[in-house]
A and B are shown apart, each in its own frame.
Chain A
């Protein structure tokens, strides 16, 4: 995997890291979600380098088209919220936890990038003499065949999962606010008094 793929990899990897840091570090949630959008687009580019065309398209449709828009809707519904928490307890331990995690992950990345040899020969994934089906790796036909073949049952179960998630989200988001609850309690008390 050299040539054009390598250039796309380095560009998309740089963009992915930059926008991931932006997502985490942005002070306002709306800027963070726009950074997340660009992160998802650059990850779709990486998926294309890895010959996962269908998943790259799905990444764009599901994440960029649905999840980020959902985030933006929620930010719009909530409106401007107080930016900083007044509670500054545990600031030191939080910074220490973050620094430790960054150190561990940085060490793993460094070790993998600098010492790991390519695990398998044949980086191009299709060794010379391979059949035509290898060239279609990750395409709609090949991946769809697996999804409707050996993975058909979990694929159908995903629809049940999404249905349950939608119903659960509606049930959780429709709850009463504290004022509503007070009003409801007062009403019940008044009714009990009448009797």
Chain B
């Protein structure tokens, strides 16, 4: 069976959906951060797949490269925030952070 661009975009949207569901449903901050990584990876897959079907330049791959760098920076800052929340609340559940809710 011939592989089309639709296969890759469909797979990427499925992975993005799994990440979005994880971010919405789970309440563990660490797993929510991992779900964000899943979504960023799905976007990278889209960029690289579209670049493969338009090989005139490397725009998609360059964007995916910057995406990887930004995701690494985001993971570092996000994990620092998780550590800070754990110091303050002794918990990594995101619904324990409700200072602005009351």
Contact = CB atoms under 8 A, between A and B. Distances in A.
A13 B14 CA distance: 10
A192 interface: no
Interface residues of A, number: 93
Contacts, number: 258
A191 interface: no
A contacts with B: majority SS: helix
B9 A43 contact: no
Contacts of A20: 15, 18-19, 38
Contact of A142 (B58, B65, B72, B91): B58
Nearest to B9: A112
A164 B69 CA distance: 13
Interface in B70-102: 70-77, 79-84, 86-88, 91-93, 95-96
B17 A101 contact: yes
Interface in B1-53: 1-11, 13-22, 24-28, 30-31, 33-35, 37-38, 41, 44-45, 48-49, 51-53
Interface of A: 1-2, 5-6, 9, 13, 16-17, 20-21, 23-26, 29, 32-33, 36, 39-40, 43, 46-47, 50-52, 54-55, 58-59, 62-63, 66-67, 70-71, 74-75, 77-78, 81-82, 85, 87, 89, 94-95, 97-98, 101-102, 104-106, 108-110, 112-120, 123, 125-126, 134, 137-138, 142-143, 146-147, 151, 154, 158, 161-162, 164-166, 168-170, 172-173, 175-178
Interface of B: 1-11, 13-22, 24-28, 30-31, 33-35, 37-38, 41, 44-45, 48-49, 51-55, 57-58, 61-62, 64-66, 68-77, 79-84, 86-88, 91-93, 95-96
